[in-house]
A and B are shown apart, each in its own frame.
Chain A
C-alpha cells in the first residue's frame, strides 16, 4: 500500500514517513504542493492509495492542492494535517474533498488509525475479541470475562483495559492511556489512570492468579500474562 505524504516541514515529514514505514506502508515524501499534485495526478499517480496532506505549504497551499485534485477527478483518499483546530477550518477542508483530518500536534497512533481507516486494509481491522490468559474482552459487545466469569466495568475502566489489551506485552505510558481514554488533551493534575488501574485490579486480578496488570514505576502499565 503506497502513501504520498506532502509536508514542507522536513522533520515532521520524516517522522510521518518513518512511522508509516514501520507500520508496513510504502511512503513517498514530497516537500511542496506542486510536486505533490504532479505525483498524485500524473502518469503514475494512480499508484498511490492514500495521500497525507499538510494544509500549509509553500507555492501551492494544501487547500489548492485538494481543490485541483478533486477538479481533475482524482478520488484518492486524503488525510489532512492541520495546525488550525478551528471548526470552520476543518469544515472547509472537508468540503474541499478531504476525507479526514488530524490536528497538530497529533498522537502518531491517531494518524496511523486514520490512515488505516482510509486504506480499509482488512488485516488492519482490530480483532473483535482480545484475549490474555483467560481474560477476554469483546470489542463488539463490550463484554469482559475472566475465566468465564463476567466482569462489570464502567466506560473509563473499559477504555483503559481495552487499550492495554490491544497493546498487550507492551508498556503503555500513563499519558498515552489518558489520551486514549479521555480522547482530548485532558490533564487532570492527578494520575487518574492510577485510580482506574486500582479499580481494574480489584475486579480482574483480586484473588486470582496469575496477575495480569503490572506497574512499570514512573512510566505506566502493561498487561501481560
Chain B
C-alpha cells in the first residue's frame, strides 16, 4: 500500500496476529499438559482407590475370590459391587494372569479390544514401585480409543490378586483441548477484523492532519495562491512544527516567485526594446534597394541572430509564465487537421532538404477541438522539425493524427538516431540536448527549449506528451489532447 496509513495498519495487524498466535500456542500447550495431568491423576487415584478397596476387603473377609458358575475365578459379588462404581477402565487380574473383574466401561469394549487391554494388565509388573509408576499410553487397535493407564500390584490383598489396571480414554481430554482450539479460532476471527479496522481508524485519525496539509499545500503551490498559509495548530507537536516550517518555506517561495515575476516582466521589456531597435535598424537597411552584397550579407546574418534571440526570449518568457501557473492560451474551436496539414507542408520542405521521406496521415473527418491554434502549430512544427533533424538521409518520418479512447492523438515517428534510455527522462528538460557535439556541427543548434515548450503546450491544454525511443531505431513522440472540456 502506498500510504503510511495502509502501512501502519498492516504493521499493526501483523503484530496483533503474531502476538495472538503466540498467546494461543502457549495457551494450547499449557492447557493440554494440564488436562493430561488431571487425567493421569484421576486414573492414579482410581488405581489407588481400587487397590485400597481390595486390600480392605481382604483384611475384613479374608476371601475375595470365588468361582463363578463356569468355574472361573472372579471377585466375590460384594467386592465386585463396590468396584462397579469406579468410572473408566478397571481390570483386576489374578497372580496367574486371569481376569477377575472388569469395569462396565471395559466390558463395553468389543472382544478383540478388551483382550488387548487384558493383555496389558497381564504384563508382568517386574517390580516397579507401586506408587510412583508413571502412566503408560496405549492405543487400542484398530481405530480404538487411546488409553492412559496405570498398573498397581496389590500384595496386601492376599495371594489371589495379581494387579489392578486403571485406565482412561484420552478422548475426553482431547475433546476439552479441541474445544479450546475452537474457542481461540473463533475469538481470533471475531476479534481481528474489528481490531484491524480500529487500528486503521486510529492511523487515519493520526494522519488526517497530514492529509489535510497535503491538500492545502497542493492548492497553495499551484502558483496562484502562494500568499495563503497553512493554519498552524496551537500545540507545538510534530505537525504544528511541520506546518510552521512549510509556511516559512512558502514565504521564501513567494518572495522568490514575486522577484521572478517582476524580473520576467522587466526583462521582457528591457530586452525587447533594444531588440526592437536593432531589428528596426537592420530591417530598414536591408530593404534599401541597390545595396552591394558585402553589405547585405552581414545585415542578413544580423537579422537572423536578432530573430533567434527573439525566439529564445519568447521561449523563456513562455516557460517563466508556465512556471507561474498562468496558462496563457487563447482557445478556439479548430479543426486540428488544418494545423497539422500546414505544419506537414513545412515538414515536407524540411524533409526534402534533409533527404528524408515523410508521410502524413490525417483522418477523413474533421477533428474539431478547442485549442490555441498558434500553440498547437508550434507544437506540431517543433516535433516534426526535430524528427527530420535527427533522422539521417534516407530515413522516414511518419506524422499521424487520430483518436484513441476519446482523446485526440497526434504522433510523430522517425527512423532516426533515437535517444539513449538514460537520456529519455531528460528530453523535456530545459536546455537539454542529446549530444551537444552533434547538434553543434549541424547548421543550427536550436534553443534547447523546444521540447520543454512542447510539454508545456500539451499540458496547458490538459493533454499529455510521451516519448518512446530505441537508439538506432527511431523515436516516437505522442501527444494526447482531450476532445473538449464542455
Stretch among A38-46, A113-121, A165-173, A205-213 lining the B interface? A165-173
Query: Do A87 and B300 form a contact, CB below 8 Å, given A16-B280, A105-B272, A190-B354?
Result: no
- State the main secondary structure of chain B at its contact with A: helix
Q: Which residue of A lies closest to B305 (CB)?
A: A175
Tally of B interface residues using CB under 8 Å: 56
Question: Are A188 and B385 closer than 8 Å at their CB atoms?
Answer: yes
Select which of A175, A189, A216 is within 8 A of B307 by beta carbon.
A175
Query: Do A190 and B300 form a contact, CB below 8 Å, given A12-B277, A85-B317?
Result: no
Max count, chain B CB within 10 A of own CB: residue among A16, A171, A176, A199: A171
Question: Are B280 and A108 closer than 8 Å at their CB atoms?
Answer: yes
Question: Are A173 and B350 closer than 8 Å at their CB atoms?
Answer: no
Say which size band chain A's interface belongs to.
Answer: 35 or more
Query: Do A192 and B350 form a contact, CB below 8 Å, given A11-B277, A105-B279, A107-B279?
Result: yes
A18 to B276, CA, bound (A): 14
Question: Are A188 and B328 closer than 8 Å at their CB atoms?
Answer: no
A141 within 8 A of B: no
Q: Which B342-363 residues have C-beta < 8 A from chain A?
A: 342, 345-346, 349-350, 352-354
A29 within 8 A of B: no
Question: Are B286 and A173 closer than 8 Å at their CB atoms?
Answer: yes
Q: Which residues of A contact B276 (CB under 8 A)?
A: 12, 15, 104-106
Q: Hey, which bits of chain B sit against chain A, CB under 8 A?
A: 265, 268-269, 272-273, 275-281, 283-284, 286-287, 289, 291, 293, 296-297, 299-301, 303-304, 306-308, 310-311, 314, 317, 321, 326, 328-330, 342, 345-346, 349-350, 352-354, 374, 378, 381, 385, 389, 442-446
- Given contact pairs A105-B276, A108-B284, a sample of 19 additional A-B residue pairs in the complex whose CB atoms are under 8 Å apart: A18-B284, A22-B284, A86-B321, A86-B328, A105-B275, A105-B278, A105-B280, A108-B283, A173-B286, A176-B283, A176-B286, A176-B287, A187-B304, A187-B311, A190-B443, A192-B353, A195-B349, A196-B349, A218-B297
Q: List, sorted by A's number, 25 A–B pairs whose CB atoms are closer than 8 Å.
A: A12-B277, A15-B276, A15-B281, A18-B284, A19-B284, A83-B269, A84-B268, A85-B317, A104-B276, A105-B272, A106-B279, A108-B283, A155-B342, A156-B345, A173-B296, A179-B307, A184-B374, A185-B310, A188-B346, A189-B442, A189-B444, A191-B353, A192-B346, A199-B349, A217-B293
